[in-house]
């Protein structure tokens, strides 16, 4: 499975940011409520971040050798999928609320109450946190290459020939 590309997340954020900006522009023009998530959404984001980090740290500890018992491979796969979902969800939330924030900035001096602008900025920060946690936990789930895999990756074009008779995979230096 390939790692999530930060460039793809940036493209998603920019595209959704344009949509958020247009939505905010239209709702302001027609005197409708601005489509910003309430601040209680931060509680949900916090729970997702904590859960993703806890599962990711569990996989990381197992990967780094603290193995008391075998790690359930389904749990590890779910952790990876959860991390990727966090990154993509964070990109959407960051883009949407950043677009709304940029539209609300032009109205900053005209409004006596700037709560909506701050709310959009805080929610965009929550989206950024989801992206960071998702990318970090996704890296936690990577398995380091084995010795044989590293040799294959380095020289796939030419096969490595044993230098001496009796060379083993185990090197007892």
Q: Which residues of 95-118 are buried (b: 16+ CB within 10 A; e: fewer)?
A: bbbbbbbbbbeeeeeeeeeeebbe
Owning domain of residue 24:
6-142
For the cut 70, the answer to whether the pLDDT of residue 142 exceeds it is yes
| Total domains in the fold of the chain | 1
79-103: per-residue pLDDT in tens?
999 999 999 999 999 999 999 999 9
Q: What is the pTM of this model?
A: 0.79
Tens digit of each residue's pLDDT (9 = 90 or more) over 17-47: 999 999 999 998 998 988 999 999 999 999 9
Does residue 155 lie in a domain region?
A: no
Q: Is residue 25 part of a domain?
A: yes
Q: What is the pLDDT of residue 170?
A: 37
Confidence class of residue 5 from pLDDT cuts 50, 70 and 90?
A: very high
């Amino acid at each position: 499975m390939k790692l999530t590309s930060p460039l793809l997340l940036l493209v998603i954020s920019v595209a959704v940011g344009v949509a958020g900006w247009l939505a905010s522009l239209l709702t302001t023009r027609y005197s409708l409520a601005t489509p910003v998530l309430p601040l209680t959404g931060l509680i949900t984001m916090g729970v997702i971040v904590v859960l993703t980090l806890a599962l990711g740290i569990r996989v990381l500890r197992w990967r780094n050798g603290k193995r008391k018992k075998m790690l359930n491979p389904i749990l590890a796969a779910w952790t990876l999928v959860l991390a990727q979902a966090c990154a993509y969800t964070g990109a959407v939330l960051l883009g949407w609320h950043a677009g709304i924030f940029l539209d609300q900035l032009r109205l900053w001096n005209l409004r006596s109450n700037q709560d909506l602008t701050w709310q959009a900025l805080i929610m965009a920060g929550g989206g950024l946190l989801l992206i960071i946690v998702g990318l970090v936990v996704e890296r936690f789930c990577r398995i380091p290459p084995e010795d044989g895999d590293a040799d294959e990756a380095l020289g796939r074009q030419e096969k490595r020939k044993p230098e001496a008779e009796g060379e083993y995979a185990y090197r007892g230096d």
